[in-house]
């Protein structure tokens, strides 16, 4: 560095014991310029290294929900039991348990006992006394009692149980103190065990309360293209917040002390400097917080990543 060259120069200067005063003055002037140049270089390096690289974000306006987390269970209200219309022999089984079937799809073929016996003696009688059983609606087979042909069944015997796929409901257990939020038409968010989110809507309130848990049973419609099995336990989120516009920030902008009593954010005051700003927070979700005070300008910018451990005032450099 230049400062090292300067000290080397001074050493050789006095070692040689220069006697010419004019030459000495020239050397001293050169030394002063060298020191000034070194100071400027060091200052520039310090200013450059003091800047912290950060990501920034803007304040947002909107509604922040305040969810009540409840428990729900999937149920299918419409289950059809297909029974044998006559006493006879099963001649064809076109389905297996768990199959998805369409309305009008052929499920079974039966033959009357007389025609079935005649068929054993005369093959031309195989088309007599045939009864076909079709699916009454779209759904899935949850139970199949007849799996093989050539089985005799009595009239009225249950052959299979069909669960209507368009009649999926969600049974929600609502504590009585929250019944004002579970009105017919109230929207809710359904979280499946694999963290899939589905929108739901309360459609019916059952006129009874569970004696043990003191919860009301509500039914909700859920809209999902994927198959959802019955009796699956899910989380149901009901919004109890007032529908008003608030200012919000990503939760990663928020900093706090060890006791989580004081909260602050790092607000930009220009393109290269941020200052610590104390805030009061309100509702919060998994990734968003409501900032109650102070009220910020709609164009205010904040450090979203890189703010941890920074001083009250810091030089920053935005990461592109």
Whether 52-64+244-318 shares its CATH topology with 67-76+168-239 is answered no
Q: What angle do CA 195, 76, 190 make, to 5 degrees?
A: 25
Question: CATH says 67-76+168-239 is which class?
Answer: mainly beta
Give yes or no for a contact between 85 and 157, defined as CB atoms under 8 angstroms apart. Answer: no
User: Which of the pair, 4 or 224, is modelled with greater confidence?
Assistant: 224
What average pLDDT does range 198-222 have in this prediction? 89
Q: What angle do CA 270, 273, 277 make, to 5 degrees?
A: 95
What is the pLDDT confidence band of residue 39, given thresholds at 50, 70 and 90? low
Distance of alpha carbon 40 from alpha carbon 114, whole angstroms: 112
Residue 115, pLDDT score: 84
> β-strand 52-58 against 313-318: which pairing, if any?
parallel
Q: What percent of the chain has pLDDT over 90?
A: 29
The per-residue DSSP string of 137-176 comes to SSEEEEEES--SSS-EE-TT-EEEEEEETT-EEEEEEEEG
What is the pLDDT confidence band of residue 46, given thresholds at 50, 70 and 90? very low
Question: CATH says 52-64+244-318 is which class?
Answer: mainly beta
Q: What are phi and psi of 91, to 5 degrees?
A: -105, -15
At residue 221, the 3 state secondary structure works out as strand
Of the candidates 130, 136, 143, the residue with the CA atom closest to the CA atom of residue 105: 136
Average pLDDT for the chain: 82
Q: Delimit the domains of the chain by residue range.
A: 2-48, 52-64+244-318, 67-76+168-239, 80-164
Over residues 227-280, the pLDDT tens digits come to 788 899 999 998 887 767 889 999 999 999 888 889 999 999 998 899 999 999
Residue 210, pLDDT score: 84
End-to-end CA distance of the chain: 33
Q: What angle do CA 224, 226, 228 make, to 5 degrees?
A: 90
Which of 1-10, 85-94, 161-170 bottoms out in mean pLDDT, i.e. has the lowest?
A: 1-10
Q: With b meaning 16 or more CB within 10 Å and e meaning fewer, what string describes 25-39?
A: eebeeeeeeeeeebe
Over residues 63-75, the pLDDT tens digits come to 878 888 899 999 9
| CA 283 and chain centroid, separation | 18
Distance of alpha carbon 212 from alpha carbon 265, whole angstroms: 46
Q: What are phi and psi of 167, to 5 degrees?
A: -125, 40
Distance of alpha carbon 189 from alpha carbon 199, whole angstroms: 5
| CA 39 and chain centroid, separation | 54
User: Which of the pair, 110 or 14, is modelled with greater confidence?
Assistant: 110
Residue 124, pLDDT score: 66
Q: What are phi and psi of 170, to 5 degrees?
A: -120, 125
Q: Token pair of 259, please? A: 């006791």
What average pLDDT does range 9-25 have in this prediction? 52
User: Which of the pair, 4 or 184, is modelled with greater confidence?
Assistant: 184
Over residues 102-149, the pLDDT tens digits come to 999 999 999 888 888 877 777 666 677 889 999 988 888 888 888 888
Distance of alpha carbon 49 from alpha carbon 209, whole angstroms: 66
80-164 has which CATH code?
2.40.50.100
Q: Token pair of 23, please? A: 């030459």
């Amino acid at each position: 560095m230049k400062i090292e060259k300067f000290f080397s120069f001074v050493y050789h200067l006095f070692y040689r014991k220069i006697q010419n005063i004019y030459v000495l003055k020239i050397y001293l002037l050169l030394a002063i310029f060298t020191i000034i140049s070194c100071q400027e270089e060091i200052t520039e390096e310090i200013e450059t290294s003091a800047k912290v690289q950060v990501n920034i974000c803007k304040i947002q306006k909107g509604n922040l929900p305040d969810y009540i987390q409840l428990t729900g269970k999937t149920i299918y209200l419409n289950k059809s039991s297909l029974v044998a219309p006559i006493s006879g022999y099963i001649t064809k089984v076109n389905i297996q348990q768990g199959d998805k079937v369409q309305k009008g799809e052929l499920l079974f073929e039966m033959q009357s006992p007389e025609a079935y016996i005649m068929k054993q003696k005369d093959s031309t009688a195989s088309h007599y006394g045939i009864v076909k059983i079709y699916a009454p609606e779209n759904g899935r087979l949850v139970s199949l009692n007849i799996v093989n042909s050539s089985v005799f069944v009595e009239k009225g015997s249950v052959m299979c149980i069909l669960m209507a796929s368009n009649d999926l409901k969600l049974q929600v257990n609502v504590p009585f103190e929250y019944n004002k939020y579970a009105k017919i038409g109230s929207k809710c968010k359904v979280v499946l065990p694999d963290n899939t989110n589905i929108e739901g809507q309360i459609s019916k309130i059952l006129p009874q309360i569970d004696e043990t848990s003191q919860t009301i049973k509500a039914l909700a419609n859920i809209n999902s293209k994927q198959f959802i099995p019955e009796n699956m336990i899910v989380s149901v989120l009901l919004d109890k917040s007032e529908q008003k516009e608030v200012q919000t920030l990503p939760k990663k902008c928020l900093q706090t002390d060890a006791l989580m009593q004081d909260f602050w954010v790092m607000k930009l005051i220009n393109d290269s400097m941020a200052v610590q700003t104390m805030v009061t927070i309100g509702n919060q979700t998994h990734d968003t917080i409501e900032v109650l005070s102070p009220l910020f300008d709609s164009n205010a910018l904040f450090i979203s990543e890189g703010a941890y451990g920074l001083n009250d005032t810091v030089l920053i450099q935005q990461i592109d």
